[in-house]
Structure 1
Amino acid sequence: MRSHHVSRVVSAEPEVVYDFASNVDNLSQWAAGLSRSDVIRDGDVLIVESPMGQVRVRFVDRNSFGILDHDVTLPSGTVVTNPVRVLAHPDGAEIVFTIRQLDLDDDEFARDIATVAADLDRLAAIVERRRPGSAPG
């Protein structure tokens, strides 16, 4: 099984990136590969409409380490663990998302990588527009 790390540098403090990305109410704004609409909460599990159908998502608890790992239970019942980190970077923050090939063929894996890259680009753009002192977006 192959893994691929997708990362984006964000011109904002790591805490700002983490706070925005870890707020599940913001998922549909930036994580189109996961959530197409607002989330429904079922205890500590989120139910979301995704491009894959309705999925269940469980994030790790909020933490001071910038860890946004989450398990996604697909409609098939398969659970996919997604390691995600927000790290300090000389230009602000870097968010790193690890994608694992699992049962995907090479084309599906490439599409997954492209989707995550677009999601991280969207996250960076949103956070950079919202940071203090930036021009209104």
Structure 2
Amino acid sequence: METVVVRQRIAATRAEAMTVAADLARLPEWASGFATSARPDPAEADVWLVDAPFGTVRARFQVDVERGILDHDVTMPDGALVHNRLRIEAAGDASEAVFTLVRQPGMSDAELAADEVAVRADLSRLAALCERMGG
């Protein structure tokens, strides 16, 4: 599988950045390429219903604040399951958000490039939000 690793420096510690990133209700504030709105699924723990630009999806999050893990499995509108790996890594007195973008079956070069642009914008907004919040 082809992957693209997208990195974004955050002028906040990993703990400070994870406080923001792991607050899933805040997803639309920084991850608008993925979530225009997000709400917990009342029927299933760790699952959020996310209104995305490409339709409503179910996202099951695996969050480990201590280790900087914010992975999520997204069930797409067509039923396909996409695993997304998002880590917040320590980088001295700052941190770095690292998202591994995986080319999905049938995805064109243009679609992969557009996803990369969207992820870069989302991580840039995450960094700005963390830094505004006092990180």
TM-score band (shorter)? over 0.9
Which residue is 2:103 aligned to? 101
Q: Which residue of 2 aligns with 1:123?
A: 126
Q: For the Cα contact (< 8 Å) 2:103–2:112, is it kept in 1?
A: yes
Corresponding residue of 1:135: none
The one-letter amino acid of 2:69's match is I
For residue 131 of structure 2, what is the amino acid of its counterpart? Answer: E
- Equivalent in the alignment of 1:3: 3
Higher strand share: 2
Q: Which residue of 2 aligns with 1:34?
A: 34
Matched, 1:21 2:21: yes
* Matched-pair contact (CA < 8 Å) for 2:63–2:71: no
5+ residue gaps in structure 1? 133-137
Instruction: Return the match for 2:68 from 66, 81, 88.
Output: 66
Q: Which amino acid aligns with 1:130?
A: M
Contact 2:22 2:65 in 1 (8 A): no
The answer on whether the counterparts of 1:36 and 1:48 sit within 8 Å (CA) in structure 2 is yes
Q: 1:91: how far off?
A: 4.8
1:41-86 alpha-carbon deviations (Å, 9 max, x no partner): 2322111110110000000043411011100100000000001111
- What is the aligned residue count? 132
TM-score (normalizing by structure 1):
0.91
1:9 touches 1:91 (CA, 8 Å); kept in 2? no
1:39/1:47 contact within 8 Å kept: yes
1:46 alignment partner, SS class: strand
CA RMSD of aligned residues (A): 1.3
What secondary structure sits across from 2:89 in the alignment? strand
Contact 2:18–2:65 (CA under 8 A) maintained in structure 1: no
Runs of 4+ in 1 over 3 A off after TM superposition: none
